[in-house]
Amino acid sequence: MSIRTRLLLVNLGLLAMAFTGISWFAGAQITAGLRVDFEGRLMSEIRLIAQGVAPAAAAFARDESDDAALAAAFAPYEAQMGGTLRLYFTGRSLEQYAGLNTACNPLPHPEPPEIEAAIAGQPIVSQRIAEDGVVHLFTAASVLDDGGVIGLLQLSVPTSALQALTAQRWGVLVGGMVALTLVAALVVAWLARQLLRSLRQLQESAARFAQGDLKHRIVSPTNDEIGAVAHAFNTMAERIQSMLEAQHTFASNTSHEFRTPLTTIQLRTEALKRSPVIMQDTAARKYLDEIDAEIARLAGMVQGLTLLARLDADRLELGRDEVDIVRFASALRQQMFAQAQEKGVILQLDTPSEPVHIQVNLAHLTLVFRNLLDNAIKYTSGGGTVRWSLVCEGDTIVHTIADTGIGIAPEHLPHVFDRFYRADRARLRDVPGSGLGLSIAASILHVYGGSIEVQSPGINQGTTVMVRWRFQRPAQNAGSLAANPD
Span from 120-128, 176-184, 368-376, 475-483 in contact with ligand ATP (CB under 6 A): 368-376
> How many other CB atoms sit within 10 Å of the CB of residue 228?
12
Which 224-283 residues touch Mg ion, going by CB under 5 A?
none
Span from 122-130, 190-198, 362-370, 371-379 in contact with ligand ATP (CB under 6 A): 371-379
Burial of residue 8, with CB atoms counted within 10 A of its CB: 0-12 exposed, 13-18 middle, 19 or more buried: middle
- Please say whether the beta carbons of 164 and 69 come within 8 A: no
* CB of residue 235 to ligand ATP, shortest distance in Å: 35
Nearer to ligand ATP, 392 or 401 (CB): 401
Of 126, 269, 348, 434, the one binding ligand ATP (CB under 6 A) is 434
Q: Which residue is nearest to ligand ATP (CB)?
A: 437
Asked whether position 403 contacts ligand ATP by CB under 6 A, the answer is yes
Asked whether position 345 contacts ligand ATP by CB under 6 A, the answer is no
* CB of residue 374 to Mg ion, shortest distance in Å: 6
* CB of residue 332 to ligand ATP, shortest distance in Å: 16
Of 437, 448, 450, 471, the one binding ligand ATP (CB under 6 A) is 437
Q: Count CA atoms within 13 Å of residue 231 on its CB side.
A: 7
Asked whether position 387 contacts ligand ATP by CB under 6 A, the answer is no
Which 422-481 residues touch Mg ion, going by CB under 5 A?
437
* CB of residue 301 to ligand ATP, shortest distance in Å: 7
Nearer to ligand ATP, 166 or 375 (CB): 375
Of 252, 361, 375, 404, the one binding ligand ATP (CB under 6 A) is 375
- Please say whether the beta carbons of 399 and 384 come within 8 A: no
CA distance 190 to 184: 10
Of 422, 443, 450, 471, the one binding ligand ATP (CB under 6 A) is 422
Please list the alpha-helical segments (H only) found in 344-422.
Answer: 362-378
Nearer to ligand ATP, 16 or 428 (CB): 428
Asked whether position 380 contacts Mg ion by CB under 5 A, the answer is no
- The entry of Mg ion, ligand ATP, none near residue 405 (CB within 5 to 8 angstroms by kind) is ligand ATP
CA distance 1 to 6: 7
Beta sheet of 346-352, edge-to-edge order? 451-455, 463-470, 396-403, 385-393, 346-352, 483-485
Per-position b or e across 46-78, b if 16+ CB within 10 A of its CB:
beebbebbbebbbbbbeeebeeeebeebbeebe
Report how far Cα 211 is from the mean position of its chain's Cα atoms: 21
* CB of residue 352 to ligand ATP, shortest distance in Å: 24
- Please say whether the beta carbons of 214 and 241 come within 8 A: yes
CA distance 311 to 446: 10
* CB of residue 486 to Mg ion, shortest distance in Å: 23
Residues composing the chain: 486
Span from 153-161, 269-277, 315-323, 416-424 in contact with ligand ATP (CB under 6 A): 416-424
Of 50, 218, 436, 452, the one binding ligand ATP (CB under 6 A) is 436
* CB of residue 393 to ligand ATP, shortest distance in Å: 23
CA distance 398 to 468: 5
Burial of residue 399, with CB atoms counted within 10 A of its CB: 0-12 exposed, 13-18 middle, 19 or more buried: buried
**Can you tell me whether residue 182 is helix, strand or coil?**
helix
Asked whether position 376 contacts ligand ATP by CB under 6 A, the answer is yes
- The entry of Mg ion, ligand ATP, none near residue 39 (CB within 5 to 8 angstroms by kind) is none
CA distance 224 to 123: 67
Span from 80-88, 163-171, 190-198, 406-414 in contact with ligand ATP (CB under 6 A): 406-414
Nearer to ligand ATP, 222 or 375 (CB): 375
CA distance 211 to 333: 34
Nearer to ligand ATP, 73 or 408 (CB): 408
Q: Which residues, including other chains, have CB under 8 Å from residue 192's CB and lie 6 or more apart?
A: 4, 7, 8, 11
Q: Which residue is nearest to Mg ion (CB)?
A: 437
Span from 213-221, 325-333, 362-370, 402-410 in contact with ligand ATP (CB under 6 A): 402-410
- The entry of ligand ATP, Mg ion, none near residue 379 (CB within 5 to 8 angstroms by kind) is ligand ATP
Span from 22-30, 109-117, 278-286, 375-383 in contact with ligand ATP (CB under 6 A): 375-383
DSSP annotation of 476 reads G
- The entry of ligand ATP, Mg ion, none near residue 406 (CB within 5 to 8 angstroms by kind) is ligand ATP
CA distance 470 to 397: 6
List Cα–Cα distances, 473 to 130, 199, 388, 393, in angstroms. 94, 42, 22, 11
Phi and psi torsions of 141, nearest 5°: -145, 155
Instruction: Tell me, by CB under 5 A, how many residues bind Mg ion.
Output: 3
Contacts to Mg ion by CB under 5 A: 371, 375, 437
Contacts to ligand ATP by CB under 6 A: 371, 375-376, 379, 403, 405-408, 416, 421-423, 428, 433-439, 463
